[in-house]
Structure 1
Amino acid sequence: MTTEKIELPEKLISLFDGPADIRAAYGGRGSGKTRSFATMSAVVGYCLGKRGIRGIILCARQFQNSLADSSLEEIKRAIADYPFLQNYYTIGETYIRSKDGRITYAFSGLDRNIASIKSKGRLLLCWVDEAEPVTSHAWNTLIPTLREEGDGWNTELWVTWNPLRKEAAVEKRFRNSKNVRIKSVQLNWRDNPRFPDLLNRARLDDLKNRPESYDHIWEGGFLAQMEGAYFATGLAIAKEEGRISNVPADPLMTFQAFF
């Protein structure tokens, strides 16, 4: 038996630890969640393939008109980071598959091809990236197709997204679920140990010059403020400095609200 070391943001270690049916991560730009999920998909394929298990790892998005819109390149780069994954997978211009022929990657859009997923064969893992716009109909069609299981494993659904609307289907279904088989975590730029200086400069520029969209882009907040909102700058800076919090009500104080 050999041991390999995989680097992940700390919050994702517990997310990928132990059994689950669904593993979900949401948050702002620069969190490292997409690269981490791409890496772990290859690791799962490696582990299952080495056990002699054959099947498909499906990478899906709501909108995918071509492979250029898919997670293909992200997974290629993730595999390139680890020699043991490079040695296990064959990578072509339009495909990724294991050299032993047991594991194959497939890429699909849910808006047009959701029904065809049923005929893709044995799905070992389905990762839906950029999942914010995925509809309830798509989830209701996709999830029942993920039904394979074996000795110590079952087909898992992985979901990653940048929050936009509180009423989105992905929010209602996966965030803060009471189902113990659904694990979810919020991941933002400060959780990424490899957050690059270039992105940090872009983040600080947004904080200073575009505060109305800063929380949505970098902190995983819903898009709530309109461009040019009068108090956006002060609120964004106060949140960044940790000056927004819950305080006990003073019964001797009068509450006044102005709109």
Structure 2
Amino acid sequence: MEFVNSWGEIARGLPLSIPPFLDRTILKSRNPAQIDHVHGELLDVELKFEDPKEEEDPMVYKSFPLTFEQLETLKSKSAAEKKRSTFEALSGFVWRARTQSLNFPPNQPTKLIFAVDGRAKFVPPLPTGYFGNGIVFTNSICEAGELVNQPLSRAAGLVGESVRMVDDGYMRSAIDYFEVTRARPSMAATLVITTWSRLAFDTADFGWGGPLFSAPVGLPGKEAVLFLADGEEEGRKKGVRVFLGLPASAMKTFEKLVKEV
């Protein structure tokens, strides 16, 4: 988004407010590599059931707008010993509801993966305008039975633990791990959450004003859920639109669970 917004500034004849920092070698792997963290986001999860074929249960794609008030309700339900952020509460809810909707066996491990912006977490922080990926994937793994049968605070707490474990050491270990293994995340029994709700899409301006709407060009993969900002009307606090695909039978259950929020 820094690139898009800079492009817009050039199109309007303005100087760059954030000049790009182009030296990507500051995130090169260490020599020798130091893999001193467990990177579960890249580990395989054993499937304990047979995934139905798409022709038997076709994929359905829908988006669900959750208002600011609904998000506050989820945060309240997610709080046990500790208050939870909107991301922790919503991610915990979606992970739990999706697992319940897919009717995984109770002993099926289910994995949650999401990206954490590491720009401010590196020591020292990445320079302003660093031009390239500054993210790392973190994860949480929990058996489906525990996730579904425990209160929402359990799922939100696991998300919170995943956020907090990302620090400079974890991120540099992840860089080294990938350099050595070139591993790709396993998608079996996995949910990947992508958060676009905080990206500055609404500030892009090529001379005709800001965008009316922003969204991905394609549909998310069957393992992916996308969070988009929702609610631009005057006087209305922003909510989040949850966009995902599920088999038709599972989508009915997921819709029901969302309506209960």
| TM-score, normalised relative to structure 2 | 0.27
- Structure ID, larger Rg: 1
| TM-score, normalised relative to structure 1 | 0.28
| Greater relative CO, 1 or 2 (CA 8 Å, sep 6+) | 2
